[in-house]
Amino acid sequence: MSKIEFLDLGMQPIANNFLSSVSDIKNEYKFRLAVTFDDDTKLVSLSNFVSPDLMFNDSYVYHSSLSKTMRSHFKDAALSFLKDYSPEKVLEIGSNDGVFLKNFSSKRSTAIGVEPCSNFANITRDLGYATYDKFWNNQLAKEIVLNHGKQDLIFSANCICHIQNLDEAFSAISKTMSSTGIFVFEDPSLLSMINRRSYDQIYDEHAHIFSIIALRNLLDKHDLSIFKVQSLKVHGGSNRIFVCHKGVRSIEESVSEIISKEIDAGLNTIDAYRRFAYDVEKSKRQLLDIIHELKRKNYKIISYGATSKSTTVFNYCGIGTNLIDYIVDTTPAKHGKLSPGAHIPVISPEEGFNDTVDYAFLGAWNYENEICEKERKFLKKNRFITHVPYVRFIK
């Protein structure tokens, strides 16, 4: 049997489907969030996929530009690609609010976006970038090549792992990339997830969590080669993967270096995933223990960052308004809503992050440095709680 399920995180909602009112609860969509290892390709994927239209539509709420960390991350990325590869034609798959695209001016290059969430596609269109509000597939690739020609740089951040049919996605990329072009994508690293026990990287949108081992196997079928990998700190540990048509560029050492680390961690065998599943259970028990203990002492606990990740944690651990009073988040579209599944009210930090709060669960743990810097006053007397890489307080 080549597909082995190793973790079940229970019935979960759509991670970014914030509810407008209590009356929406009865129609809330739920599915069984479980994870499977494919022993042939070594790919880790959800056991059950959710229909893309239910997740990515004109009500999508995640804005890449809202964090200072991500704005400078994408600016640096764009500048380094311009310096190292001088692409004239740039295409971004999953362009969100244009945080990457807007670093390309029409003087040096033409940049176009693909973004199925039309509320976001309208933002980049208004900025002057041709944007297709469609899902990435062979048909769209054909349309783009016809209208704009083949592309020198195809970039995608936190989007390829959202695509369920990777064979079609890679085939479409291969047909859209010019003969000397590059495809660069970044997504959460499976190695980081396993090492940091950050099981909350698993939710409906993340159809797959990638190892370089699995990606090399999948890309090879489309005559595409990984020629460089960079480890990134963003989103709790990501990989930036550089791909070209086979034989066009020499393969840098970074590829074999990271594959060796993955093999050392056992990512090519099921045992590492079974150990991870055991650690996830333990993390749940420890988190519940400390939250219950604080609650018994009558402390006020809230959550900081209404992330997709916290949807997984709250629904897996059974944490609701019995333990967490509310969630503060900077995204205006989440304010006044109820968090998916756990139905915890979401309000702005201005409204809720004040002297009455004793402890805050860090839903946005991937921005620990940015948030701790910003919230120095809170940390003088109070503490954040996180479960990554183990359950602990942040002073």
Residues at the contact surface with ligand DWN, assessed by CB under 6 A:
62, 66-67, 158, 205, 235, 305-309, 329-331, 364, 366-367, 370-371, 374
Q: Which is nearer to ligand DWN, 266 or 389 (CB)?
A: 389
Q: Which is nearer to ligand DWN, 156 or 211 (CB)?
A: 156
Residue with tokens 């629904």: 315
CA 349 – CA 242 distance, rounded (Å): 38
> Minimal distance in Å, beta carbon 55 to ligand DWN?
9
Reference 236, options 325, 316, 312; nearest CA is 312
Tokens at residue 47, please? 């056991």
> Minimal distance in Å, beta carbon 235 to ligand DWN?
6
Reference 346, options 28, 61, 22, 18; nearest CA is 18
CA 180 – CA 175 distance, rounded (Å): 12
> Minimal distance in Å, beta carbon 250 to ligand DWN?
31
> Minimal distance in Å, beta carbon 60 to ligand DWN?
9
Reference 270, options 50, 11, 3, 65; nearest CA is 3
CA 224 to chain centre: 23
Q: Which is nearer to ligand DWN, 232 or 267 (CB)?
A: 232
Q: Which is nearer to ligand DWN, 5 or 373 (CB)?
A: 373
Q: Which is nearer to ligand DWN, 145 or 379 (CB)?
A: 379
Strand partners, 156: 185
Find the distance separating the first CA and the last CA of the chain, reported in whole Å: 47
CA 166 → CA 13, 159, 163, 215, 309, distances in Å? 24, 11, 6, 10, 23
Tokens at residue 35, please? 């994870």
CA 313 – CA 387 distance, rounded (Å): 9
CA 9 – CA 1 distance, rounded (Å): 22
Q: Which is nearer to ligand DWN, 235 or 240 (CB)?
A: 235
Q: Which is nearer to ligand DWN, 213 or 306 (CB)?
A: 306
Quick check: bond before 389 cis, omega within 30? Answer: yes
> Minimal distance in Å, beta carbon 97 to ligand DWN?
12
> Minimal distance in Å, beta carbon 384 to ligand DWN?
12
> Minimal distance in Å, beta carbon 16 to ligand DWN?
6
Reference 245, options 310, 182, 296; nearest CA is 182
